Amino acid sequence: MLKPEERKRAIVIGTGLMGPGIAYTLASAGWDVTLCARSESSLTKGLRSYQAAIDTLLQGGCISEPDAGTAHDKIAGTLDLEAAVSDADLVIESIAEDLDVKRTLFQRIEARCPSDTLLSSNTSGLPVGQLAAVLNKPGRFAVTHFWNPPHLMPLVEVVKGESTSQETVDTLVALLEQAGKKPVVVLKDTPGQLGNRLFHALLREAIWIVQEGIASAEDVDTAVKTSFGRRFPVYGLLEHQDVVGLDTVLAIQSYMCKALCNHTEAGMLLQNTVKSGGLGVKSGHGFYDWSKRDIETTVKQRDAFLIRMLKSETS
Catalytic residue list: 124, 145, 157, 196
Contacts of 145 (CB under 8 A, 6+ apart): 122, 123, 124, 156, 157, 159, 193, 195
Residue 145 CA from chain centroid, whole number: 5
Separation between Cα atoms, residue 147 and residue 158, nearest integer Å: 12
Q: Which of 195, 202, 257, 255 is nearest to 224 (CA)?
A: 202
Query: With b meaning 16 or more CB within 10 Å and e meaning fewer, what string describes 150-189?
Result: bbbbbebbbbbbebbbeebbebbbebbebbebebbebeeb
Rama region for 213: left / alpha / beta (φ>0; ψ in -120 to 50; rest): left
